[in-house]
Amino acid sequence: MSGHQVKVAIVGSTGYGGVELIRFLLEHPQVEIVSVISSASAGAPITDGFPHLTNIVVQNLDGVDIQEIAKKADLVFTATPSGVSSKLVPQLVEAGLKVIDLSGDFRLKDGATYEEWYKHTAPEADLLEKAVYGLSEIYGHEVVGQSLISNPGCYSTASLLGLIPALSAGWIDPSTIIIDAKSGVSGAGRGTSLTVHYAEINENFKAYKINKHQHIPEIEQTLAGIAKQPVTVTFTTHLVPMTRGIMSTMYATLTGFHTEKELVELYTQYYEGRRFVRIRPEGQWPATKEVLGSNYCDIGFSVDSRTGRVTIVSVIDNVVKGAAGQAIQNMNLMMGWDETLGLRNAPVYP
Ligand SMILES: NC(=O)C1=CN([C@@H]2O[C@H](COP(=O)(O)OP(=O)(O)OC[C@H]3O[C@@H](n4cnc5c(N)ncnc54)[C@H](OP(=O)(O)O)[C@@H]3O)[C@@H](O)[C@H]2O)C=CC1
Ligand SMILES: CC(=O)N[C@@H](CCC(=O)OP(=O)(O)O)C(=O)O
């Protein structure tokens, strides 16, 4: 497909994930955005809700009309809530479109597990089977040439990229993993709720969904595939009064004696050639601002010889590597392009 522009439509283009897709796709050399779609604001200019796009994006928002989308586009990003994607995606697939879904609806292979954690009706089993889980650095080879990609969760991306090399090498005991994760409030989407109300979150720091977060089964499913045995994790999420960024701080017992230098070498080797994962040298840990606005995941380590545990710190921008950026990375892989196309910007600093 590399000879011509791929025509892309975005369902959910009035949300944070959708608007971030637009920002990156405007710079993508192989893509033309042919339709930006909203269920609530069809017919209005996108600039009504997003004046920062004035003069950059001229399109009016289209409604959700599968046949119209199929006439215009080759590929669709569904940046829609869980429970919405499960209904839209089958129709888009049926219409012959390539689909990259940003919601949690197609990540879990077992429909009953999905229904337990998401409280929505699961998609049909054949589509769950067909959807490729697009954790790009780990399963990018499976994404190539596919037509339905399920983009990973934001917390899951930061946590899994930080854990997989050590687990895969057998260096950590899979039964001892604890993930302590924090997110900026854009992770909750653009819809207003009391949780993200300024007066509730400003100068506040709170844990939520402890042991109940919907990314737990996604993380466990993936880690079990790597460890080739069932894995359970303790997972706590927190809201931080900042706009973007996720930090997953993770703890696990080492199976043998390994130094920080060895961990740096293991991870550097594991992610060799993967531009978007950056391993910090010994004694350095990443901060969320060091990946802001970029598709990078930065990872650092500390080994505690007193306890025999390793601490792994992994950071991403939730809206980029945790959503729109990784979705575009998956489109690049799906199409057989360089995975970095449209995503080469440095983080925003300060
Ligand atoms: N924000 C983040 O950091 C991350 C988000 N995600 C996931 O990505 C998806 C989008 O998230 P985000 O952008 O933050 O969410 P937002 O709440 O900001 O946006 C949701 C979008 O979905 C659209 N929408 C809602 N209902 C429907 C419907 N019935 N039909 C069509 N479109 C609909 C809304 O458009 P309108 O109301 O105009 O119709 C809006 O554009 C979600 O599944 C989320 O869980 C995943 C990882 C990270
Ligand atoms: C801060 C915040 O609320 N973050 C969201 C992130 C999850 C998300 O975006 O939903 P998916 O399950 O589709 O990945 C949450 O914790 O539920």
Is pLDDT above 90 for 192? Answer: no
Compute the distance from residue 189 Cα to the ligand 1 centre, in Å: 6
Is pLDDT above 80 for 275? Answer: yes
Atom number, ligand 2, closest to the C-alpha of residue 186: 1
Q: What are φ and ψ of residue 164, in 5° steps?
A: -60, -45
Is 0.85 exceeded by the ipTM?
A: yes
Residue 255: both structure tokens together:
């199976």
User: Cα separation of 332 and 334, whole Å?
Assistant: 6
User: Cα separation of 243 and 222, whole Å?
Assistant: 28
Top mutation candidate among 50, 80, 88, 150 for ligand 1, by most atoms within 8 Å of CB: 80
pLDDT at position 3 is 56
Give the tens place of pLDDT for each residue, 154-170. Answer: 999 999 999 999 999 99
User: Cα separation of 206 and 240, whole Å?
Assistant: 7
Give the tens place of pLDDT for each residue, 10-42. Answer: 999 999 999 999 999 999 999 999 999 999 999
How long, in residues, is the chain? 350
Token match 């080879």: residue? 141
Give the tens place of pLDDT for each residue, 201-213. Answer: 999 999 999 999 9
Distances (CA, A) of 174 to 95, 171, 177, 251, 252: 42, 9, 6, 11, 8
Relative to the alpha carbon of 82, which ligand is closest? 1
Is pLDDT above 60 for 142? Answer: yes
Is pLDDT above 80 for 266? Answer: yes
Is pLDDT above 80 for 221? Answer: yes
Give the tens place of pLDDT for each residue, 285-311. Answer: 999 999 999 999 999 999 999 999 999
As a whole number, mean pLDDT of residues 245-272 equals: 98
Atom number, ligand 2, closest to the C-alpha of residue 184: 1
Residue 35: both structure tokens together:
């339709």
Nearest-CA residue for atom 3 of ligand 2? 188
Atom number, ligand 2, closest to the C-alpha of residue 208: 16
Compute the distance from residue 188 Cα to the ligand 2 centre, in Å: 6
As a whole number, mean pLDDT of residues 184-199 equals: 92
What's the gap between Cα 311 and its chain centre? 22
With a Cβ cut-off of 6 Å, ligand 1 is lined by 11-18, 38-41, 64, 79-82, 84, 102-103, 153-154, 186-187, 189-191, 318-319, 322-323
Top mutation candidate among 21, 22, 24, 39 for ligand 1, by most atoms within 8 Å of CB: 39
Atom number, ligand 2, closest to the C-alpha of residue 237: 16
If phi > 0 it is left, if psi is from -120 to 50 it is alpha, else beta; for residue 137 that is alpha
Residue 286: both structure tokens together:
């990443």
Relative to the alpha carbon of 83, which ligand is closest? 1
User: Cα separation of 343 and 31, whole Å?
Assistant: 13
Nearest-CA residue for atom 23 of ligand 1? 12
Query: In 3D, which of 350, 256, 248 has the Cα closest to residue 301?
Result: 248
Compute the distance from residue 85 Cα to the ligand 2 centre, in Å: 15
Compute the distance from residue 15 Cα to the ligand 1 centre, in Å: 5
Atom number, ligand 2, closest to the C-alpha of residue 81: 13
CB 29, CB 328: distance < 8 Å: no
For the chain, the average pLDDT equals 97
Top mutation candidate among 77, 84, 155 for ligand 2, by most atoms within 8 Å of CB: 155
Distances (CA, A) of 324 to 35, 133, 268: 16, 15, 25
Domains delineated in the chain: 6-130 (3.40.50.720), 155-317 (3.30.360.10)
Q: For the residues of 147-189, what is the DSSP string, one character each?
A: SEEEPPPHHHHHHHHHHHHHHHTT-B-GGG-EEEEEE-GGGG-
Residue 145: both structure tokens together:
């040439």
User: Cα separation of 219 and 217, whole Å?
Assistant: 5
Is pLDDT above 70 for 2? Answer: no
Give the tens place of pLDDT for each residue, 101-110. Answer: 999 999 999 9
What's the gap between Cα 92 and its chain centre? 21
Query: In 3D, which of 141, 177, 171, 142 has the Cα closest to residue 159?
Result: 177
Cis check for the bond before 152: say yes or no (omega within 30 of 0): no
DSSP state of 254: B
User: Cα separation of 170 and 172, whole Å?
Assistant: 6
Apex 36 CA angle, 94 and 243, nearest 5: 115
Binned at pLDDT 50, 70 and 90, residue 193 comes out as confident
Instruction: Determine which one of 154, 254, 316, 331 is catalytic.
Output: 154
DSSP state of 348: P
Token match 């930061």: residue? 158
With a Cβ cut-off of 6 Å, ligand 2 is lined by 82, 103-104, 153-154, 183, 185, 187-188, 214, 237, 239
Is pLDDT above 60 for 248? Answer: yes
Nearest-CA residue for atom 17 of ligand 1? 189
Compute the distance from residue 36 Cα to the ligand 1 centre, in Å: 13
Binned at pLDDT 50, 70 and 90, residue 57 comes out as confident
pLDDT at position 1 is 44
If phi > 0 it is left, if psi is from -120 to 50 it is alpha, else beta; for residue 194 that is alpha
154 is catalytic: yes
